[in-house]
Amino acid sequence: MPIRGPVPVKLYKLDKAETLRIGPLTIRVYEDGSLTENRVSSILIEIPAGQSGPPLHWHRSHDELFFVTKGAWIQCPE
């Protein structure tokens, strides 16, 4: 049975977050979902100017939200 109501999220601070480097991308994991039955996770991806983000993908059971804090979001042509 999935968790109902509030979930116990553990957010790490910047200096304690797991940091991954994949090519030019820096990824920081603030909440990996292990305490929330993978219902909630939070990562920060730093993408240098002129670089592509993650490849096109989909999630079977999860929504994905993007908050662009600097720069601009460029819509891909359809």
Asked if pLDDT for residue 74 goes beyond 60, the answer is yes
Alpha carbons 29 and 41: distance in angstroms, whole number? 8
pLDDT at 19: 93
- Quickly tell me which residue has 């820096």 as its tokens: 26
Q: pLDDT (tens digit, 9 = 90+) per residue, 23-54?
A: 898 999 888 888 777 777 888 888 888 887 77
- DSSP-derived letter for residue 14 is T
- pTM beyond 0.75: the answer is no
The pLDDT of residue 17 is above 80: yes
